[in-house]
Amino acid sequence: MQTQLQFDNRFLEELPGDPEPDNFVREVRGACYSRVQPTPVRSPTMVAFSPETANLLGIEATDCSSETFLQVLAGNKLLPGMDPFAMCYGGHQFGNWAGQLGDGRAINLGDVVTSERARYAMQLKGAGPTPYSRTADGLAVLRSSLREFLCSEAMHHLGVPTTRALSLALTGQEVVRDILYDGHPKAEPGAIVCRVAPTFLRFGNFELLASRRESELLRDLADYTIKNHFPESGPLGKTSTYIEWFRTVVQLTATLIVQWMRVGFVHGVMNTDNMSILGITIDYGPYGWLENYDLNWTPNTTDAAGRRYRFGQQPAIAQWNLLQFANAIYPLIGEAKPLETALSEFASLYESESQQMMANKLGLLEFRPRDKELLDGLENVLSLAETDMTLFYRGLAEATEEMTPTARLNCLHDAFYTESELTDPVTHEIFRWLGDYLQRVSTDDVSDQQRRDRMNQVNPLYVLRNYRAQLAIDAAGKGDFSAVNELLDVLRNPYTEQPHRGEYAAKRPEWARHRVGCSMLSCSS
């Protein structure tokens, strides 16, 4: 490998670690991490890597195909300066306090400092057990790893804040999983993703310290986070700085959820241990992309009963999670009022950003208070017949006032799943809404072409459709990595129509409607 990476492991230097050097499952108190080595694997193979993420780290493209790169990213070798560790955190899972969780199968290798002085933590997911593995094995299977790898990069190219993925490697070893937790365990290929982010700190890191009343350490971790990631919040140690920091986290989280809603992303497991302190998407598990528009949809079968993490509930859950984070940092501030005020800003921030986002999706120059009616009407229209959200907006960009009602409806044709659902009353309602919409559009001084261009910049044509990810998983399981690499390439330009790649934009085929991995995913990974 030609590239010399510079590592600087501030997290280890500035915060206390677990004094126990051995790797066994335990409660870790008074520490933010435990040093732990990745478990070597037998015969790794590189499935795919992201040249963009490599570039971010300053890794030469040619190095990505090198043997050293593979061995490092499969956990068999460390580069000089790497000092691996697992982080200690807790979290609220499905609404209940779960106590210590921690990096049970993620191992940070170290922070790369680039030539532009940017810092990125590199983290292997699935590289073996850590002190936080509880009853699990520390490993990950190909299907979930491929989904995390592709989705991280897809989200980045869509403009949604996210952790990144550098690589996806097979370990050459099998991992046993019972996909639907119904007593059918099976051996699956093991895999490791290398994730990259400025930090992997979560709400749960702070919550765990607060729950244990380790106030001094809580303050140290907060100061570390502010100093390195939120310096604009103010001078360290001041109450006003902690409040400002919280306000920023509220703001970043609101923006993140608006972006998820824009592209139709459902995280699936918005536990507080899966909420990044940076407001970036983290921990891709049983996530899914909306196909037919449905506010109640969740891809996660583990959450099927309560649907806590359904599409339409994501903003409310984000706010609930922020409340848990506020409770955690309360000891630093000692007054509830400023935190309550900041938290209450979530709703108004979310509402105004969301309205602007929807105006953008519709190609309107701005959101006007009266547009609320148009948005309510849209919500209704999208629910009349099974309607693919992604294709709907791309089709809508083609509709113009000059067209007949039927021609306008034809623009949306690809978005409808079942023709027979387009009964007369349904088409009538769609005609009416299209009429209202195009009339509203005509009050902006924008040509149809300009509106189309604006809309197509915020409404993707290619998203990581669940069945497409599954096809790539099926192929990769048979040793064919071309599908995952092609999908990665398609998702690099989600807003631009790509010749000969129409099938990547196609709505979910019937066979995928109820197939495990396409419309149904569990936490098993």
Closest C-alpha among 209, 351, 182, 201 to residue 276:
201
139 sits near ligand AMP (criterion: CB under 6 A): yes
Instruction: Among 18, 103, 244, 448, indicate the residue that binds ligand AMP (CB under 6 A).
Output: 103
- Which one of ligand AMP, Mg ion, none is in contact with 377 (Cβ closer than 5 to 8 A by kind)? none
User: What are the structure tokens assigned to 65, written together?
Assistant: 């195909």
- Which one of Mg ion, ligand AMP, none is in contact with 448 (Cβ closer than 5 to 8 A by kind)? none
x/- site string to ligand AMP, residues 284 to 313, per CB under 6 A? -x----------------------------
The SS3 assignment for 64 reads helix
d(CA 51, CA 486): 14
What is the footprint of Mg ion within residues 256-275 (CB under 5 A)? 274
Kindly indicate which of the ranges 26-34, 49-57, 137-145, 448-456 contains the residues binding ligand AMP, using the contact rule CB under 6 A: 137-145
Residues 494 and 158: beta-carbon distance below 8 Å: yes
Question: Which DSSP letter does residue 61 get?
Answer: G
- Which residues are CB-contacts of 171 (< 8 A; sequence separation ≥ 6)? 41, 42, 43, 44, 74, 126, 139, 189, 190, 191, 192
Q: Is 294 an active-site residue?
A: no
Q: Which is nearer to ligand AMP, 276 or 519 (CB)?
A: 276
Q: Which is nearer to Mg ion, 191 or 382 (CB)?
A: 191
x/- site string to Mg ion, residues 280 to 299, per CB under 5 A? ---x----------------
Kindly indicate which of the ranges 100-108, 145-153, 373-381, 439-447 contains the residues binding ligand AMP, using the contact rule CB under 6 A: 100-108
Q: How far is the CB of 382 from ligand AMP (least distance, A)?
A: 30
276 sits near ligand AMP (criterion: CB under 6 A): no
Task: Classify the C-alpha dihedral 234-235-241-242 as positive or negative.
Answer: positive
Q: How far is the CB of 272 from ligand AMP (least distance, A)?
A: 10
Question: Which DSSP letter does residue 511 get?
Answer: G
Q: How far is the CB of 53 from ligand AMP (least distance, A)?
A: 21
Closest C-alpha among 253, 60, 25, 232 to residue 160:
253
138 sits near ligand AMP (criterion: CB under 6 A): yes
What's the CA angle centered on 47, arms 46 and 49, to 5 degrees?
A: 80
d(CA 333, CA 331): 5
d(CA 271, CA 300): 13
Kindly indicate which of the ranges 244-252, 269-277, 451-459, 495-503 contains the residues binding ligand AMP, using the contact rule CB under 6 A: 269-277
104 sits near ligand AMP (criterion: CB under 6 A): yes
Residue that has been written with the tokens 């984070």 in this structure: 325
How far is Cα of residue 200 from the mean position of the Cα atoms in its chain? 13
Q: How far is the CB of 299 from Mg ion (least distance, A)?
A: 16
Instruction: Among 42, 60, 94, 136, indicate the residue that binds ligand AMP (CB under 6 A).
Output: 136
Q: How far is the CB of 453 from ligand AMP (least distance, A)?
A: 39
Nearest residue (beta carbon) to Mg ion: 283
Task: Classify the C-alpha dihedral 53-55-58-62 as positive or negative.
Answer: positive
d(CA 521, CA 102): 23
Could you list the beta-strand ranges (E) of 281-405: 288-289
Q: Which is nearer to Mg ion, 283 or 353 (CB)?
A: 283
Q: Which is nearer to Mg ion, 89 or 246 (CB)?
A: 89
Residue count of the chain, please give it. 525
- Which one of ligand AMP, Mg ion, none is in contact with 220 (Cβ closer than 5 to 8 A by kind)? none
523 sits near ligand AMP (criterion: CB under 6 A): yes
Q: Which is nearer to ligand AMP, 309 or 416 (CB)?
A: 309
d(CA 16, CA 8): 16
d(CA 525, CA 503): 28
The SS3 assignment for 329 reads helix
The single residue of 111, 273, 388, 448 carrying the catalytic annotation is 273
Residues engaged in binding Mg ion (CB under 5 A): 274, 283
Please list the active-site residues.
273
Residues engaged in binding ligand AMP (CB under 6 A): 101-105, 132-133, 136-139, 269, 273-274, 283, 285, 523
